[in-house]
Chains A and B, each alone.
Chain A
């Protein structure tokens, strides 16, 4: 079996070209939406499939075969939903991540035999602001967070990874790291402040 190399993508880089975000993954999504472009899909697959598999296996909650199933499910969704991707609103990687997160949550619930009329897509409907100011922010947010992430102390990154990638609640993260719940919450809060995430009340 040949193994797909993890392609060094340029997904994180983007240039200001006529005020539009131009990165490789956004272009792939646009090509899929416009012409059902399989070559573009293959490029996306080679970049994202290994990440989706790692995400499925994080916290070692899913078996390898279920992880493979999740990879297929997420990539099929990416194919089907490419037309809903708006490059002005979000980075392509954020868009793919939210699909992966939703599919993983739905899969957990299926494995626990939840009988529910709700899918995770209902929990996260597409209802972001259409205001130009908010759009402009949305486009830059991921890039800013990615740069600032490198400045966070390891103990804060570790907890964020537990919560986001391993799917742990703050309480579960606290128990696992043998830390008081308050410490976990304050580390998350500090990290989020340093990443300049807007919390205006």
Chain B
């Protein structure tokens, strides 16, 4: 069960439908693993519906109703007899929609001997949405963030100076947080990372790469 969660302000903006698409997809993927956040989120949405119900209605012309009634025949009610249910715990459906096949079918770009990155396309022009594959026991060079970074552990786990994180754990790093994540020894780690600015390696050994680390949004 996930131990690290989005803060309440993030969950609220998510429930209100205000997060940028890439970040919303990451928070949504966390919920796939997290019963508590699902529950809070559904209550936060009920809160939204109360505000909605309290709105001062704006008159809608009768012609609008007629127009909708005329279109009903073209839009027959959908049948939900075999409604597909999301299976909590598996790779979140929202990620599956962005990948064809599974993790091994993706194009991975090797960054260091233990780190590969695969970029997924969400269509959000301001955020990079990428999967990080860290080999068991492998270490991502120490880096800082020029912007915010959301991380969600999908498989395996990793640790840094602040803690250790496992499947479903969600982290939000702010600019200037420095860390050097290391994957658990027992298995490879796959994380989702959502960035609004490129990483910046701090150690001298990798600093030369910084000019090449461009954000790849979209």
A residues with a Cβ closer than 8 A to B are 1-4, 6, 11-12, 32-33, 36, 38, 41-42, 45-46, 49-51, 53-55, 57-58, 67-68, 71-72, 75-76, 79-84, 90-91, 93-94, 96-98, 100-102, 104-105, 109, 114-118, 120, 122-129, 134, 137-138, 141-142, 145-146, 149, 160-161, 163-165, 167-170, 185, 188-189, 192, 195, 197-201
Contacts and interface: CB of A to CB of B under 8 A. Distances in A.
Given A128-B38, A141-B46, 6 more contacts: A42-B65, A49-B64, A54-B57, A94-B46, A94-B48, A164-B52
Nearest to B57: A50
Contacts of A104: 17
By secondary structure, the B interface counts as helix
A198 B11 CA distance: 12
B161 interface: no
Given A11-B53, A36-B77, A49-B60, A167 B72 contact: no
B68 A97 contact: no
14 contacts: A1-B63, A4-B62, A33-B77, A45-B65, A49-B65, A72-B68, A83-B80, A97-B49, A114-B125, A149-B50, A160-B51, A169-B18, A192-B44, A198-B40
Contact of B62 (A3, A68, A116, A142): A3
Nearest to A68: B64
A183 to B, nearest CB: 12
Contacts of A1: 61-63
A163 B36 CA distance: 22
Interface in B71-104: 71-72, 75-80, 83, 85-86, 88, 93-94, 97-98
A197 B67 CA distance: 39
Nearest to A108: B17
B36 A101 contact: no
B21 interface: yes
Given A68-B64, A84-B83, A118 B52 contact: no
A89 to B, nearest CB: 9
Contacts of B93: 122, 125
A124 B43 contact: no
B175 interface: no
B77 A82 contact: yes
A142 B78 contact: no
